[in-house]
Structures are given as structure tokens and as C-alpha cells.
Amino acid sequence: MSKKTTVSIIKCDVGSLTGHHITPRPLLDLAEKHLAKAEEKRLINSHYVFHAGDDLELLMVHQKGEENPQIHKLAWDTFTETSEKAKKLKLYGAGQDLLKTAFSGNVRGMGPGCAEMEIEERASEPIVVFAADKASASAFNFPLYRIFADPCSSAGLIIDPAMAGGFKFEVLDVKENKKVVLKCPEELHELVALIGTTQRYTVSRVWRARDDMVCAATSTTRLSLIAGKYVGKDDPVAITRAQQGLPAVGEILVPFMHSYFVEGWMRGSHWGPIMPVGLKDSQCTVFDGPPRMVALGFQVCDGAIACEDAGKPMISDLFNDPAFDMSRKEAMEYAAALRRMGEFEPARLPAETLEYTTLPQVLEKLKDRFKKA
Ligand code: F6R
Ligand code: MG
Ligand code: MG
């Protein structure tokens, strides 16, 4: 068993109440029961169950390392059982993201999304996890660029000598399944050239350049690439470490002071504005959105989440704060502007991104009626 601590967040849409808008209480309770049992057996040291819209999120802290088959099986079994319960309740989209039936040691490529980070605990270890609903795998490209590469956003890049060497970004080409590491500030322009193309490139990991300390990890699943057709948006998750030679929690959150656009929203086929929300507002309503983002803060302590005296993990619901009211208002203003456009681009995603939905079928239907122009 590794002495290091691993933070794993594994998520799955197992079924939702009233369409695709929220993971209902009975499924959260069942997942909680599963993880509490795993904690009793010391498979994991801490857990927190929550949801981002219709995605069930399992936050687990343990000492078994990344991609550990026991941890992944725990998540897979939890998703299978909650899906069964969802089916019994005839909830909507029950088992939606469970794209394969036989578990083979790792949830990657099977439908659930997963971000994991194995760390050597510092004297104090503040962590922020993010979870989005109705958003694509690259939804974190823009904020991660702001957090780790933009000195006008993260003041520490200029003020803190411990951050002076910059950060390295691992960028995944999801179409060709290749990855490249780019170092900022030296390769900032190349980084933006790639990750600005959000349909194809996803930031998967970030390290502090001077000592290769890992400081961020995201989920990179493209559900449509696994299933070969549209089966729901990826609704990604991310983990970031904060403070003491890394961006401060406030620098990690400041990119969300304004809304920004992600692919997703209704039928995974539209540009939609990210709305940062507290857990109480973690549900998707208007046009199945707008895409929501939650952020939870906690401290890792001796292989676990730091707890209250009674053993309850201390979790801070970071976007449950009037400081993000402006961003939420912006999101609704952007949402209104886009919806006024109806199904005309740029409100709807470009055709290439729609190839997993219905455009090929429309073209097929009309193919004999097209005449040479
Ligand atoms: C997007 C999403 C929803 C559904 C929409 C239609 O990720 O989950 O916007 O695409 O509600 O759902 P179905 O086809 O299940 O009726
Ligand atoms: Mg769903
Ligand atoms: Mg979802």
C-alpha cells in the first residue's frame, strides 16, 4: 500500500428525477451507504457523496494510489446498484452512463468520469474539487489556463517566488488519443493555440514546473467516442491543490467570477454559459441548464478529509456565496441571448460536433433530393 494520499472523484449519471435535472435523494443515500461501508472496511479513509445536476459524484480519499482496481470497483458497484434502484423507481435515464456491462479493473472507457491525484501531503493540504453538469470534457480548459498560466488572474504567478518557474500542462488530443506536455510561460501561446480548440484538446493534468509537483487533474472521458453516438455530455470533474507555492483558493475561484461558454446544455448540442452554484442549486432546469458548476473545498489530513470532532468531513460549498451572484446573473443574460438565436449557430454547436446526434440522419433522409447546384 502506498504511503501517499490519493484523492479520487468518480462520477456517473445513474438516473435522474424528472428528466435529466437532478440525482434524487434515494440514490444519494444508497451511494452514501456503499461508501460508508467501504470506509468501515478501511478500503477508503474518507468519502463525500454529492451531485452535480444529474451526475452522482463520489469523492473518496484513500491510500491505494491512482487507477486502483479496488477503488474503481467500489465506484462501479456503487453505480451499478444505484442504477438498479433508479430502474426500480423508473427514474429517467437509469444507468445512462454505464456503457459497458463487465467491469475490467478500471472505470476509464466504461462511461463513468474519473479524476484522480496521488499526492505527498504537505504540512497543510487545501484541495478544491469541481464538478460540472451539461458540459463537455474541456469545460476546465479556460479556468485552468487562468489559474495556472494567466498572471492577470493568479497574482501569485508574479508575486510568489515559489510559483515563478510556472506550470506544466498535459494536453490530451481526444480525437487521436495522444498527449503533449507544454510548459508555461515559455509555451503559453502554443498552449492557448491547442486548448482554445475545446472540441479536440483537453487539459488533463497540471504540475508545478520547478519540482514537478502535481497540482491539478481532470476527467477526460468523451462519452460519444466510447459509445460511437450521443449518449449524454461528459459532465467533467477536476481536482486542484491550493496555496503555499500554488495558486490560492481565491485565485482558483476567481475565473468563475464571470460566466464563460462551454459545449453541452440541451441535448449536448449547444454552447451554454457556465453558472457556478452552491449544492442547493445544483440542478439543471432552463433548456436543461444552464450548465452548472459546483466547487467543494476541504483539507486533506493524514490520508483522509479533515473531519469535525464527530467524524463528519469538513466540506466547504465554495460557490454558495453571493460573491458569485454576478456570474450567475451573467450566465442567465448569456443564456437569454443564445436562446434568442434558437437553433442557429453559434447557439447550436457546429455540424462536426453534431455528428453523433441527428444531422447525419437528416442528411441521409434528404440525400436523394439534393441536386447539383
Ligand atoms: C444533455 C442532457 C439532456 C438531454 C435531453 C433529451 O446532456 O442530458 O439535455 O439530452 O433532455 O433527453 P432524452 O433524449 O433522454 O429525452
Ligand atoms: Mg442524464
Ligand atoms: Mg449530467
* pLDDT tens-digit series, residues 160-207: 999 989 999 999 998 888 999 999 999 999 999 999 999 999 999 999
What are 110's three cell numbers? 466504461
**CA dihedral sign of residues 299, 301, 305, 310:** negative
* pLDDT confidence of residue 104: 82
In our burial notation (b when 16+ CB lie closer than 10 A, e otherwise), range 153-168 reads bbebbeebeebeebbb
* pLDDT confidence of residue 357: 64
List pLDDT tens digits, range 309-345.
999 999 999 999 999 999 999 999 999 999 999 999 9
**Is residue 373 in some structural domain?**
no
* Average pLDDT for the chain: 94
Number of domains in the chain: 1
Identify whether 321 is a catalytic site residue.
no
For atom 1 of ligand 1, which residue has the closest CA?
A: 267
DSSP three-state, residue 176: coil
Identify whether 368 is a catalytic site residue.
no
CB atoms < 10 A from the CB of 257, how many?
13
**Is residue 139 in some structural domain?**
yes
* pLDDT confidence of residue 1: 46
The ligand with the least distance to the CA atom of 265 is 1
* pLDDT confidence of residue 292: 98
What are 355's three cell numbers? 455528428
What are 211's three cell numbers? 519540482
* pLDDT confidence of residue 260: 98
In the block, which residue shows the cell 454529492? Answer: 50
Q: Is 233 in the pocket of ligand 1 (CB under 6 A)?
A: yes
* pLDDT confidence of residue 367: 94
Catalytic residue among 160, 173, 230, 260: 230
**CA dihedral sign of residues 153, 157, 163, 167:** positive
* pLDDT confidence of residue 138: 95
In the block, which residue shows the cell 461508501? Answer: 35
For atom 14 of ligand 1, which residue has the closest CA?
A: 267
**Is residue 42 in some structural domain?**
yes
φ and ψ of 107, to 5 deg:
-75, -10
**Is residue 371 in some structural domain?**
no
Choosing from 266, 284, 339, 354 the residue with most ligand 1 atoms within 8 A of its CB, the one to mutate for a pocket test is: 266
Instruction: Say how many Å lie between the first and final Cα of the chain, rounded.
Output: 68
List, for the chain, all residue ranges whose pLDDT scores fall below the cut of 50. Answer: 1-2
Own/partner contacts of 210-213, CB < 8 Å, gap of 24 or more, are: 210/164, 210/165, 212/168, 213/246
**Is residue 319 in some structural domain?**
yes
* pLDDT confidence of residue 277: 98
**Is residue 189 in some structural domain?**
yes
In the block, which residue shows the cell 491512482? Answer: 66
* pLDDT confidence of residue 289: 96
Q: Is 208 in the pocket of ligand 1 (CB under 6 A)?
A: no
Scanning the chain, the segments in alpha helix (DSSP H) are 25-40, 69-88, 141-149, 156-159, 188-195, 223-227, 249-253, 325-340, 359-366
Question: Could you tell me if 34 and 74 are in contact, meaning their C-beta atoms sit under 8 angstroms apart?
Answer: yes
**Is residue 370 in some structural domain?**
no
What are 223's three cell numbers? 462519452
Q: Is 268 in the pocket of ligand 1 (CB under 6 A)?
A: yes
Domain range for residue 231? 5-363
Q: Which residues are close to ligand 3, an ion, with C-beta < 5 A?
A: 13, 54-55, 133, 235
Ligand 1 atom with the smallest distance to the CA of 54 is 8
